[in-house]
Structure 1
Amino acid sequence: MPFISQFHRQSDYNYFSSTTPIVIDNGASYFRIGWAGETDPRVIFRNIVQRPRHKATGETVTIVGDHDPALLKYFDCTRSGPRSAFDSNVVYQFEIMEYILDFGFDRLGANGSQIDHPILITECVCNPVQSRCKMAELLFETYGVPSVAFGVDAAFSYKYNQRHAICDKDGLAICPGFTTTHVIPFIDGEPVYKGCCRTNIGGFHVTDYLKQLLSLKYPHHMARFTWEKVEDLKMEHCYIAPDYTSEARLFQKGTKEAEDKTRCWQLPWVPPPVEEPPSEEEIARKAAIKERQGQRLREMAEAKRSSRINELENQLRGMEFLLQQLEQVEEAEIPSFLKDTGYVSKQEIESSLVKVTQSLRKAKGEPKAEQAEVEEKSDSSMNEKYPLSIFLTTC
């Protein structure tokens, strides 16, 4: 079964004495916090922080753990992806770690930032001294805890199983983590960290590989295979084979046992809504709206056309008046006369006059001068070829 986040605020924080330690399992994937002596943690959530902006106000908010998909209506999560405090399995972003601890202590029921309980927190194997010092400084300076103890989760687990006679004093502890896997030898019940081995493969890489396989096999559904969805599929349906070779041979043969182990998963599917044909009233309403929009566009075009015609007529009258004045000016004085008009010569004014006249005819919807002459010549030639008037009079 996939991990289910539990982050409801606890109400019995004040019932525990100040000597009861708070246990924190600070994993790279999930953050767990609870009380010493209890079997299960009180609060579980993903060890990530996201800081989206509110769509209306633009204010930046802090979301710890998995966010509710309903929040996407109010917050822009596209520009701020989930961030982790870990680099591989070592904590290095202590600003994000402070957000995580604030949320964890608040969900546990603490009032304010003062924590009066001893803290037991897990760390990675061979954790760098600088990372441990920063974590201790954060817990002491920010939360005022009375004491802090660090430990490796695999060592705690081995000691617990040894007390319950599940394992011997000598053995190997295999600790598969989120980004790394450690093998720690135990001699006489004590871990030998000098002999431990590490490989940079963990649950994250398994999930990512499964996501790639599903995307290659079903490329049309690639967008639906989110990392969180594939993680849930892995936790719910996948398993570790005790003997990989025999397990693979089992599926190659296609036996009944292989069919029983095969899982079929249906993607979430919502049937498309059935569109009903519009009623006569709806058709008439849309037609009326379309007609009003068309009428408004025609009125706007007519107003623009009238404004253009008035502008061209004013230009035409101005150039005709300027040509009339040029008739009274001597040839030598024309350049000085045209100095402030924007024209250089009389020919330029006449050329502009022809262009404005053509533009005015086009704006009014009249044919061009050349086209009008061609039509007149065509009409005269037709009359000469077919003298209908003479034919009618003679008849």
Structure 2
Amino acid sequence: MPFISQIERQSDYSRFSSSTPIVIDNGGSYFRIGWAGEDDPRVVFRNIVQRPRHKTTGETVTVVGDHNPALLRYFDCTRSGPRSAFDGNVVYQFEIMEYILDFGFDRLGADQSQIDHPVLINECPCNPNQSRCRMAELLFESYGVSSIAYGVDAAFSYKYNQKKGICASNGLAICSGFMSSHAIPFVNGEPVFEACCRTNVGGYHVTDYLKQLLSLKYPHHSTKLTWEKVEDLKMENCYIAPDYASEVKIFQKGDKEAEEKTRCWQLPWTPAPVEEQPSEEEIARKAERKERQGQRLREMAEAKRTSRINELENEIRGLDFLVKQLEHVPENDVPAFLRDTGYASKQEIESNLAKATQSLRKAKGEQVENEEKGDTSNAEKYNLLHVPDEMLTSEQLRDKKRQLFLKSTAEARQRAKQRKLEQELEREKQMKLEEAKRLENPELYLDLLRAKYQELSEKVEQRKRQKTNGNNTNGKQNGSGGVGRGERLNAAQRERMRLLASAAFDRGKGEDTFGRDDEDWQLYKLMSRDNNDDEDDNEADLARVSARLREIDPTFVPKSETGSPAEPPGFRPLTKEDFQILMGVERFRCPEVLFHPNLIGIEQAGLGEMAGISLRRLPSNDEALEERITKSIFLTGGSCQYPGMIERLETEIRMLRPCGSAINIVRAYDPILDAWRGASQYASDMQLFQQQTFSRDDYFEKGEDWLRGYKFRYTLT
């Protein structure tokens, strides 16, 4: 089976005899395997499996434990994420467990087809018999091991530290692992599993909670917050608060003490390049290049103008020639001559000649006089308007309609221009009058202007509320909860709608024939003209008054600026602070789930409460025994390494014990590896270890049911 791994394969497997046990610490986070009697395991890797496909060949490979990210970029990992064989702290996916054991034995240097060694493997307290039987079936039938022994990791760690003098024979082992935490009382060196207590909270939940909080706090850096990095941040920065409520109040105040307890993780950041000011030589060079480009554009424009003048001169000469020829053509031959030249009449040739002459003058930069021949040109341009329709052909009728449309449009444009000019003159006159009033009495003028601004702003606001909210003038809604179209219109608009609605029936005397004739549509033009004059005039007057107040009153602030939200900030370059992840309250809030699992929705007991439950579950109500046990409370497991764990746990247990009770809490020599070391030390005594094993012959003879009564003894005699 192909593996991807950075772990080297051991080469001294053949040096160990078949009677030397193999010790396995099958933890929820890490898998450790080695030889009995040694101080450290030979192979350690994460207890996960991933099976991606190669992007090119499609071959499936097995990735067990830690992997090389640079190598995995050639594989498709989207359909196969990391998987674990554990459900909580119990092995239930034995297909994945087989991959892990294959890899562990392979890295140890063994031939996977035959592992002729005794195996001591760790399991959780009170492990279900089904899981124990499936593990025995896998080891006996797939690997051919000679014998198996099952032990609890916390018990091995306790016995190992007992021999070092760290804890006594009577005590309480609190093991906080990856997926769960246990409290196991020890009496005379043996664990009392009938009194043990378990909570499904461990290091996994602390890491997951920290990852969620940081991802919500810094969503733009969520890709940087990988599981491995958050695990490192947890072990480096998290601690247990002596009093959770008091610690939260410190960060609520945000004083100097909170700043001192805040930790910062600086992400990789490259400062934006500083734009250097160009030198004088560079500025001169750019100016010279710009001048050359401008000169080239001017030359191109001059060449284009010269070409245009030549074209117009040639066109004028051709039209002059046609006019002169037309003078010598007989009257009867004029239509045929015009058809050959492509013109309809002599007037058209003369009109084109006048246009070309005018264009030539414009191209040469000469002043063009249009008003001299304005009347004649209009008469020639609209020559069909005064001719009766009976004297015109169908084509000429279409031309007459087009000329009528063009003339009315031009006249309307001229009237609009004249009206605009008159309005400007009137505005200038009004401004002069207002300036005279201001100079005459500035204070009175300012008060009147403010009053006018207030009146206009109220009108505009009322109109906007009627449009958006649909309220009527009395501020009440209609019975249906909505508002009609008529209630949102002002008086002038409602009157126009009434006239328009009644015009249809007045026109046809009860029959709706309005719109059949072209004259009827003049009513629409009349009624739709200046439809929103009042509203537009109010807004225009409000803008004019507001601008005037800005000029003469420095303290004036428009309502739109005071009531509107602040504009979003513009673009700014990213700084070093934008790539920092600050951990303040998260440092102690995440490990707090070990004492209060309800913070993440798990309604179970915390570590302090677990200790009290285990003491109450002891078979005898001997107060002296409980006193001896509380004098040796032992912490082990990866999640007991937080600073402040011993002090906080002592406070929690003291609240459950009588006043004055002796409480002594100690931590394991190595909370992570002591379980494997204890198992290795136990399995090194070959004679006594063989009494605790379940052999392959027993498995084939007695079957799996024999394991129901299997009980491992930790005190060697």
Does the alignment reach a TM-score above 0.5?
Answer: yes
**Aligned partner letter, 2:348:** Y
- Report Cα offsets for 1:155-196 as digits up to 9, x if no partner: 111111112221112211111111111111111211111111
User: 1:180 maps to what in 2?
Assistant: 180
- Report Cα offsets for 1:352-394 as digits up to 9, x if no partner: xxxxxxxxxxxxxxxxxxxxxxxx9xx755x3642449999xx
CA 1:63/1:390 → structure 2, altered by over 3 Å: closer, same or farther? closer
Matched, 1:139 2:178: no
Separation (CA, whole Å) in 2 of partners of 1:157 and 1:227: 27
Moved more, 33-42 or 200-209: 33-42
User: 2:223 maps to what in 1?
Assistant: 223
User: 2:48 maps to what in 1?
Assistant: 48
CA 1:218/1:191 → structure 2, altered by over 3 Å: closer, same or farther? same
CA 1:12/1:132 → structure 2, altered by over 3 Å: closer, same or farther? same
Separation (CA, whole Å) in 1 of partners of 2:352 and 2:225: 89
**Contact (CA 8 Å) 2:6, 2:68: kept in 1 or not?**
no
Separation (CA, whole Å) in 2 of partners of 1:186 and 1:47: 29
**Contact (CA 8 Å) 1:250, 1:258: kept in 2 or not?**
no
CA 1:391/1:164 → structure 2, altered by over 3 Å: closer, same or farther? closer
CA 1:246/1:187 → structure 2, altered by over 3 Å: closer, same or farther? farther
Give the SS at the match of 2:223. Answer: helix
**Contact (CA 8 Å) 1:172, 1:186: kept in 2 or not?**
yes
CA 1:166/1:273 → structure 2, altered by over 3 Å: closer, same or farther? same
Matched, 1:8 2:31: no
- Report Cα offsets for 1:182-218 as digits up to 9, x if no partner: 1111112111111111111111100011111111221
**Aligned partner letter, 1:81:** G
**Contact (CA 8 Å) 2:102, 2:112: kept in 1 or not?**
no
CA 1:380/1:104 → structure 2, altered by over 3 Å: closer, same or farther? same
How many residues are treated as equivalent by the alignment? Answer: 283
**Contact (CA 8 Å) 1:24, 1:120: kept in 2 or not?**
yes
1:97-136 mapped onto 2 (5 Å cutoff): 97-136=97-136
Q: CA RMSD in A?
A: 3.0
**Aligned partner letter, 1:140:** F
**Contact (CA 8 Å) 1:48, 1:82: kept in 2 or not?**
yes
Moved more, 140-149 or 230-239: 230-239
1:1-395 mapped onto 2 (5 Å cutoff): 7-241=7-241, 259=260, 262-269=262-269, 383=345, 385-388=347-350
Give the SS at the match of 2:263. Answer: coil
Question: How many Å apart are 1:45 and its aligned residue?
Answer: 0.7
**Contact (CA 8 Å) 1:6, 1:45: kept in 2 or not?**
no
Separation (CA, whole Å) in 2 of partners of 1:100 and 1:204: 20
Separation (CA, whole Å) in 2 of partners of 1:391 and 1:143: 108
CA 1:101/1:159 → structure 2, altered by over 3 Å: closer, same or farther? same
- The structure with the larger Rg is 2
**Contact (CA 8 Å) 1:179, 1:203: kept in 2 or not?**
yes
User: 2:481 maps to what in 1?
Assistant: none
Separation (CA, whole Å) in 1 of partners of 2:347 and 2:28: 100
Separation (CA, whole Å) in 1 of partners of 2:41 and 2:136: 22
**Aligned partner letter, 1:227:** W
Question: How many Å apart are 1:60 and its aligned residue?
Answer: 1.5
**Contact (CA 8 Å) 2:32, 2:44: kept in 1 or not?**
yes
Question: How many Å apart are 1:246 and its aligned residue?
Answer: 6.8
User: 2:703 maps to what in 1?
Assistant: none
Question: How many Å apart are 1:36 and its aligned residue?
Answer: 1.4
**Contact (CA 8 Å) 1:49, 1:100: kept in 2 or not?**
yes
Give the SS at the match of 1:220. Answer: helix
CA 1:117/1:243 → structure 2, altered by over 3 Å: closer, same or farther? farther
CA 1:241/1:158 → structure 2, altered by over 3 Å: closer, same or farther? farther
- Report Cα offsets for 1:132-157 as digits up to 9, x if no partner: 00001111111111111001100111
Separation (CA, whole Å) in 2 of partners of 1:258 and 1:191: 45
Show structure 1 runs of 5+ residues with no match: 275-375
CA 1:107/1:220 → structure 2, altered by over 3 Å: closer, same or farther? same
CA 1:239/1:389 → structure 2, altered by over 3 Å: closer, same or farther? closer
CA 1:385/1:130 → structure 2, altered by over 3 Å: closer, same or farther? same
**Contact (CA 8 Å) 1:6, 1:44: kept in 2 or not?**
no
CA 1:228/1:101 → structure 2, altered by over 3 Å: closer, same or farther? same
- Report Cα offsets for 1:276-311 as digits up to 9, x if no partner: xxxxxxxxxxxxxxxxxxxxxxxxxxxxxxxxxxxx
User: 1:344 maps to what in 2?
Assistant: none
Separation (CA, whole Å) in 1 of partners of 2:140 and 2:120: 13
Question: How many Å apart are 1:72 and its aligned residue?
Answer: 3.0
Question: How many Å apart are 1:244 and its aligned residue?
Answer: 5.3
Separation (CA, whole Å) in 1 of partners of 2:123 and 2:207: 23
Question: How many Å apart are 1:220 and its aligned residue?
Answer: 1.5
Separation (CA, whole Å) in 1 of partners of 2:127 and 2:141: 21
CA 1:263/1:142 → structure 2, altered by over 3 Å: closer, same or farther? same
**Aligned partner letter, 2:50:** Q
Moved more, 47-56 or 230-239: 230-239
**Contact (CA 8 Å) 1:25, 1:32: kept in 2 or not?**
yes
**Contact (CA 8 Å) 2:33, 2:43: kept in 1 or not?**
yes
CA 1:42/1:69 → structure 2, altered by over 3 Å: closer, same or farther? same
Separation (CA, whole Å) in 2 of partners of 1:197 and 1:190: 16
Separation (CA, whole Å) in 1 of partners of 2:58 and 2:220: 35
Separation (CA, whole Å) in 2 of partners of 1:18 and 1:174: 36
Give the SS at the match of 2:107. Answer: helix
Separation (CA, whole Å) in 1 of partners of 2:166 and 2:353: 127
Q: Which structure has more helix as a fraction of its residues?
A: 2
Separation (CA, whole Å) in 1 of partners of 2:101 and 2:353: 110
CA 1:250/1:48 → structure 2, altered by over 3 Å: closer, same or farther? same
CA 1:223/1:385 → structure 2, altered by over 3 Å: closer, same or farther? same
Separation (CA, whole Å) in 1 of partners of 2:173 and 2:224: 37
CA 1:60/1:391 → structure 2, altered by over 3 Å: closer, same or farther? closer
**Aligned partner letter, 2:118:** P
Give the SS at the match of 1:28. Answer: coil
Question: How many Å apart are 1:7 and its aligned residue?
Answer: 2.5
TM-score by length of 1: 0.65
- Report Cα offsets for 1:112-138 as digits up to 9, x if no partner: 421122111001111110110000111
**Aligned partner letter, 1:119:** V
Give the SS at the match of 2:168. Answer: coil
Separation (CA, whole Å) in 2 of partners of 1:209 and 1:38: 37
**Contact (CA 8 Å) 1:6, 1:43: kept in 2 or not?**
no
